[in-house]
Amino acid sequence: MAASPVFLNLDLLALSPPGWGGVLLTGFAASLQLAVGGFGLGLLIGIGGAFGKLYGGPILRDLLEVYTTVIRAVPELVLILLLYYAGTDAVNSLLMLAGLPRVDISGLAAGIFVIGVVQGAYSTEVLRGAIKAIPPGQIEAARAYGMSPFKTLRRITLPAMLPYAIPGLSNLWLIATKDTALLAVVGFSELTLVTRQAAGATKAYMLFYCAAGVLYLTLTLVSNRVIGHIERRARRGIAGPM
Amino acid sequence: MSDTKVTMPAYVPPPPRRLLEPHRIFLIALFGAIVFCAVWFLRWDWLEKYQWKLIHGIWETLFLLFSTAAAGFVLAVLLGLVQVTGPRPLAMLARGFCTLIRGTPLLLQLWLLYYGLGSVFAQYPEIRQSMFWPYLRQAWPYGFTALMLSFAAYEGEVMRGAFAGVPRGELEAARAFGMGRFTMFRRIWLPRAFYRALPTLSGETVLQLKSTPLVATITVVDVYAIISRVRQDTYLTYEPLLLLALIYMCLTGILVLLFRFLENRIPSRGA
Amino acid sequence: MKHILKTTLAAAALATTAFTGALAEEVKVGIAAEPYPPFTSPDSSGKWVGWEIEFMDAICAEAKLDCVVTPVAWDGIIPALTSGKIDMIIGSMSITEERLKTIDFSDKYYNTPTGIIGAKGDDFEATPEGLSGKIIGVQVSTIHADYAEKHFGDVAAEIKQYQTQDEANQDLAAGRVDAVQADAIALDAFLKSEGGDCCELKGNVEDDQAILGAGVGVGLRKDDTELKDKLNAAIKAIRDNGTYESFSEKYFDFDIYGS
The stretches in chain C having pLDDT less than 70 are 1-25, 259
Phi-psi region of A113 (alpha: psi -120 to 50; beta: other; left: phi over 0): alpha
Which residue among A58, A79, A216 places its CB closest to the CB of B21? A58
- Return the CATH superfamily for domain A27-234: MetI-like (1.10.3720.10)
Question: What mean pLDDT comes out for the span A41-63?
Answer: 91
Give the chain B residue whose CA is nearest to the CA of C146: B233
Under DSSP, the state recorded for A11 is: G
Break chain A into its structural domains and give their ranges: 27-234
- Nearest CA among A4, A2, A9 for reference residue C197: A2
Contact A216 B12 (CB under 8 A): no
Is A151 within 8 Å of A108 (Cβ atoms)? Answer: no
What is the complex's ipTM, to 2 decimals? Answer: 0.85
Q: Which of A53, A104, A148, A183 to mutate to test the interface with C (most CBs of C within 10 A)?
A: A104
Pick from A160, A136, A165, A137: which is nearest to A55 by CA? A136
What is the C-alpha to C-alpha distance for residues C218 and A190, in angstroms, rounded to an integer? 27
Residue A36: predicted pLDDT: 96
Give per-residue pLDDT as tens, A89-118: 778 778 878 877 767 677 788 889 989 999
Q: For residues B169 and C26, give the distance between their C-alpha atoms in angstroms, rounded to a whole number.
A: 73
In whole angstroms, what is the distance from residue A176 CA to residue A32 CA?
A: 9
pLDDT at C41: 87
pLDDT of residue B7: 45
Chosen from C162, C167, C171, C180 to mutate, greatest number of chain B CBs within 10 A:
C171
Question: What average pLDDT does range A194-221 have in this prediction?
Answer: 89
From C216's Cα to the closest Cα of chain A, the distance in A is 22
B:17-56 residues touching chain A, CB 8 A cutoff: 17, 21, 23-24, 26-27
**Each residue's pLDDT tens digit, A55-87:** 888 889 989 999 999 999 999 999 988 888 777
| Architecture (CATH level 2) of domain B51-265 | Orthogonal Bundle (1.10)
pLDDT attached to residue B128 = 77
Instruction: Put residue B148 in one of left, alpha, beta given phi > 0 → left and psi -120 to 50 → alpha.
Output: alpha
Number of Cα atoms under 13 Å in the Cβ half of residue A5? 2
Query: Does any CB of chain B come closer than 8 Å to the CB of residue C173?
Result: yes
- Which among B5, B11, B231 is the top mutation candidate for probing chain A, defined by the most A β-carbons within 10 Å of its own β-carbon? B11
Asked if the Cβ–Cβ distance from C44 to A18 is below 8 Å, we say yes
What amino acid occupies position C158? E
For residue B122, which phi and psi values (nearest 5 degrees)? -65, -20
- Min Cα separation C236/chain A (Å): 30
Side chain identity, residue B181: R
Asked if the bond preceding C38 is cis, omega within 30° of 0, the reply is yes
Say which residue, A232 or A120, is predicted with more confidence: A120
Q: C133 and chain B: CB distance < 8 Å anywhere?
A: no
Give CA C134 to chain center in angstroms. Answer: 25
Min Cα distance B187 → chain A (Å) is 30
Touching chains, C (3+ CB pairs < 8 A): A, B
The whole-number pLDDT of residue A5 equals 47
* Strand, helix or coil for residue C157: coil
Which of C9, C80, C164 lies nearest to residue A48, judging by beta carbons?
Answer: C9
Give yes or no for A78 touching C (CB within 8 A): no
Predicted local confidence at residue B6, as pLDDT: 44
Between CA C175 and CA B138 the distance in angstroms is 10
Return d(Cα A197, Cα A195) in angstroms, integer. 5
Give residue B213's pLDDT: 94
Q: What is the phi/psi pair of residue C199, to 5°?
A: -130, 170
What is the DSSP track for B197-240? HHHHHHHHHHHHHHHGGGGGGGT---HHHHHHHHHHHH--SHHH
Neighbours of chain A (3+ CB pairs under 8 A): B, C
CB pairs under 8 A between B and C: 42
Q: Which domains does chain C have, with CATH numbers?
A: 22-111+214-248 (3.40.190.10), 114-212 (3.40.190.10)
DSSP H or E stretch at residue C31: strand C27-32
Distance from CA of A76 to the nearest CA of B (A): 7
Confidence of residue B109 (pLDDT cuts 50, 70, 90): very high
Nearest-Cα distance to chain C for B120, in Å, is: 8
Mean pLDDT score, A119-130? 93
Nearest to B104 by CA among A32, A22, A214: A214
Q: Show residues of chain B in contact with C77, CB under 8 Å.
A: none
- Residue B196's pLDDT band, with cuts at 50, 70 and 90, is confident
Domain limits, chain B: 51-265
More confident residue, A138 or C13: A138
CB C215 within 8 A of CB C258: yes
